[in-house]
A and B are shown apart, each in its own frame.
Chain A
Amino acid sequence: MNKISVIIKREYITRVRKKSFIIMTILAPILMAAIIIVPTLVMMNQGGEFKKIAVIEDNSDLFKGVIKNTKDAEFVYLENTKVEDLKKTFEKAGYYGILYISPELVNTPNAAYIISKKQPPIGLLQYIENSLKKEIERQKLLAYKIENLDDIMKNVETNVSVQTKKLDESGNEQGTSTGIAMALAYILGFLMYMLVFIFGAQVMRGVIEEKTSRVVEVIISSVKPVQLMMGKIIGIALVGLTQFMIWIILTIGIVGIVKTSILPKSGITEMSQTMPQNLMSGNQPVAGKAQTAEMSPQLAEFSKLFDSAMHQRWGLIIVCFVFYFVTGYLLYASVFAAIGSAVDNETETQQFMLPVTIPIILGLMVAMGTMQNPESSLSFWCSMIPLTSPIVMMARIPFDVPPWQIAISMVIMLVTFAAFVWMAAKIYRTGILMYGKKTSWKEMWKWLRYSG
């Protein structure tokens, strides 16, 4: 036991001291936090600077006044002006761009264009397209000569925004955000996939390194091969958990700091105005503080998202994550160790990697599907099958999985992982001392049955 701890220590320390480890550990949470924060901020402040746009039509006034002004953009309809003439001077005249509409637009969808120095925001384009489309539809409908068309149109116009409510155990309605659960499922499933894969592959590389550098023979004259294998696997697992813990703490920390510095009223305008702009393109001038009042409902939305995220059962998620990480990782890592022991160099691992990779990829794909439909039977079975359950179950948990399902899945996982470790140890023991022979699956099967 004492010797295993010496091995674990070496595996842990040599890896944690590596530059690549330190960089990844610090960089990843910043990226994670950015993934969480940036889209929210961008959503809150889509328009950016106020835009004045010149609208020019060719010899007609079909679309005059069709595009209504918004809080972000003003549309100035210019008559008797040629695009060619304005092209050179529109910036000086204070315009963001020129929208040209040809009368052909009714029949040709791409007969309109916008000229500007900068790439116009998608939101603006969608708004213009929508307005023009509605107008054309309206005019086409007019051709049918329906009475009171305008009234009918007004009457028909509808806005839909589906709210989700979920019944909890006691029958109370809870406001939930499917978006948060989905994002969480995605992050957890993907994180699990990455950790199992990255650290499992590290185990394999470590084994190959020991085998090709022939260190292994010296070591196993001091300790049992199984001790060496488990020492390596555990050491690397601790590296993974260390990284994971630092990631959680840093991500929560960064998100928390951003949240508290955005939400207090004093800091609202400045943060929400400057941050996304600075992130997207640093040279845009900061717009005025005119929109403070309109921000509030959006901020409330932002805050609601945060609260919804905070209402997830984090305790359960973290416990399950650690369990599935440890067992899933041990399962795959021992398979990776066995593969590493069977080959002479990394290029030879290909033929063995494929069958191992397939269940992981499958797990990830099912996990993605799980986010659309967490109760599907495919998701259910894949969260029971031990090769895919670490990834799929983690993706299901944010959507509330019955405890008995988690329990069964965990038991199956424990049994399977014990069996895999046992088999891998047998293959490993023989494999690490075999050189120069191309190993086949059949060969590995034979090693499984060697005595000692």
Chain B
Amino acid sequence: MALFEAKNVTKQYGNQLALDNVSISVPEQCIYGLLGPNGAGKTTLIRIINQITGPDTGELFLNGKKLMPADVQLIGYLPEERGLYKKMKVGEQALYFAQLKGLSKAEAMKRLKYWFKKLDIIDWWGKKVEELSKGMQQKVQFVTTVLHEPKLLIFDEPFTGFDPLNTKIVKNEILFLRERGATIIFSTHNMESVEELCDNITLIDKAKTILEGSVHEIRSKWAANEYDLVFEGDVKIEGNGHYNILKQQKDNNKSIFRLKTTGDINTNDILQTAIKSGNIISFNPALPSMNEIFIRVVEARN
């Protein structure tokens, strides 16, 4: 069942259409990627989900019920442009945000201690925010986002500002939260992390949905006619009626070819021809990276 659904959402600012009939459906305990070039309308959609702004038309459902103002307790949001009160102390500030999400002071205190210890920032409790490094501030903000144990978490570029080690820590925390039952909407331009984390995605460009589905299916679909063929040593092959060579490279005493088949052809046929050219090390369907798909899909529309 879908934990969150947006149906035919349209939003207009003045003359500018920010979202045009966009629908998404986020299954429970899924990590859902929200992708798109800058200015595509992702932030608008996220703000609508957070009820920061309302849609002009369209409906939103959480747990099958219409999204209500009180549902903000069930949502945790880490905005891309994040900030804290610079002059306020870390602990006080975290308490403040927790109370705004409806936690009692005592409960918030208990959970904050747990998370601050877990992320190794407990020593910073009494420090002012302006004394913290950017990565530290990000951690504090991450904690305030997840503290009220929301069913739906929305992370907008959660890894910017983190070093690789902290990126890994936060990634694991996100996976851990999913294990514990949270559903996550994840917006990023980092396609590697999409491949790594996301189950499903929606790609929005110029206010419209242009691609959606599970990451695996999308990659397979785009890979339908492409294969990677690797030979040992220095080998030359040329395209024929069955396939074209998209690109080739030599690397570490290997020759790597990306083939695109033309029409219906059995992969064995390809191998039979190729086997004559040299010693084959591997032959795989080439899954295009999400990066490639992103670029191709968006470029095709321009």
A residues bordering B, Cβ < 8 Å? 2-3, 6-7, 10, 14, 209-210, 213-225, 433, 435, 446, 450-452
Contacts and interface: CB of A to CB of B under 8 A. Distances in A.
Given A6-B100, A222-B97, A433 B83 contact: no
Interface in B30-85: 47, 50-54, 56, 69, 72, 75, 77, 79, 81-85
B54 A221 contact: no
A10 B101 CA distance: 15
Contact of A3 (B47, B75, B86, B100): B100
B72 A218 contact: no
Contact of B100 (A7, A225, A433, A446): A7
A223 B72 CA distance: 8
B88 interface: yes
B99 A6 contact: yes
A217 B85 contact: no
Interface string B197-239: 0000000000000000000000000000000000000000000
B84 A452 contact: no
Q: Which of B82, B83, B88 has the most CB of A within 10 A?
A: B83
B14 interface: yes
Contact of A222 (B53, B72, B85, B86): B72
A344 to B, nearest CB: 12
Contact of B81 (A14, A217, A221, A452): A217
Q: Which of A215, A225, A452 has the most CB of B within 10 A?
A: A215
Contact of B87 (A7, A14, A219, A446): A14
B77 A221 contact: yes
B100 A222 contact: yes
B83 A213 contact: yes
Contacts of A450: 13
A433 B52 contact: yes
Q: Which of B13, B50, B54, B100 has the most CB of A within 10 A?
A: B100
A433 B97 contact: no
Q: Which of B77, B99, B141 has the most CB of A within 10 A?
A: B99
B85 A215 contact: yes
List 6 tightest A-B contacts by C-beta distance, closest first: A214-B83, A452-B54, A213-B83, A222-B100, A221-B77, A221-B50
Contacts of A216: 83
B88 A446 contact: no
Q: Is the interface of B mostly helix, strand, loop or mixed?
A: loop
Nearest to A222: B100
A220 B52 contact: yes
A84 to B, nearest CB: 67
B52 A217 contact: yes
9 contacts: A2-B102, A3-B100, A3-B102, A6-B99, A218-B83, A221-B77, A222-B100, A224-B69, A452-B54
Contacts of B79: 214, 217-218, 221
Given A222-B97, A223-B100, A214 B81 contact: yes
Nearest to B50: A221
Contacts of B100: 3, 6-7, 219, 222-223
Given A14-B87, A222-B97, A451 B54 contact: yes
B294 interface: no
Given A6-B99, A7-B100, A213-B84, A218 B77 contact: yes
Contacts of B115: none
A7 B97 CA distance: 10
B101 A214 contact: no
Given A214-B81, A217-B82, A435-B81, 19 more contacts: A3-B102, A14-B87, A215-B84, A217-B52, A218-B77, A218-B79, A218-B83, A218-B141, A218-B144, A221-B52, A221-B75, A221-B79, A222-B97, A222-B101, A223-B72, A224-B69, A433-B52, A433-B53, A452-B54
B53 A452 contact: yes
B125 interface: no
Given A3-B100, A10-B96, A215-B85, A221 B56 contact: no
Contacts of A433: 47, 52-53
A383 B90 CA distance: 47
Contacts of B85: 14, 209-210, 213, 215
Contacts of A3: 99-100, 102
B52 A215 contact: no
A213 B84 CA distance: 7
A217 B43 CA distance: 11
Interface string B1-31: 0000000000001100000000000000000
A429 to B, nearest CB: 8
A326 B261 CA distance: 77
A115 to B, nearest CB: 59
Contacts of B72: 221-223
A189 to B, nearest CB: 34
Contacts of A14: 85, 87-88
Interface in B164-185: none
Q: Which of A209, A213, A217 has the most CB of B within 10 A?
A: A217
Nearest to A18: B87
B56 A451 contact: yes
A449 to B, nearest CB: 10
A68 B219 CA distance: 111
Nearest to B49: A221
Contacts of B97: 218-219, 222
Nearest to B129: A213
Contacts of B141: 218
Nearest to A213: B83
A219 B47 CA distance: 12
A214 B86 CA distance: 11
A8 to B, nearest CB: 12
Interface string B125-141: 00000000000000001
Interface in B93-147: 96-97, 99-102, 141, 144
A433 B56 CA distance: 17
Contacts of B50: 221
Nearest to B56: A451
A214 B87 contact: no
Nearest to A225: B52
A214 B52 contact: no
A224 B99 CA distance: 14
B221 to A, nearest CB: 35
Contact of A218 (B47, B82, B88, B99): B82
Q: Which of B13, B51, B53 has the most CB of A within 10 A?
A: B53
Contacts of A209: 85
Contacts of B86: 213
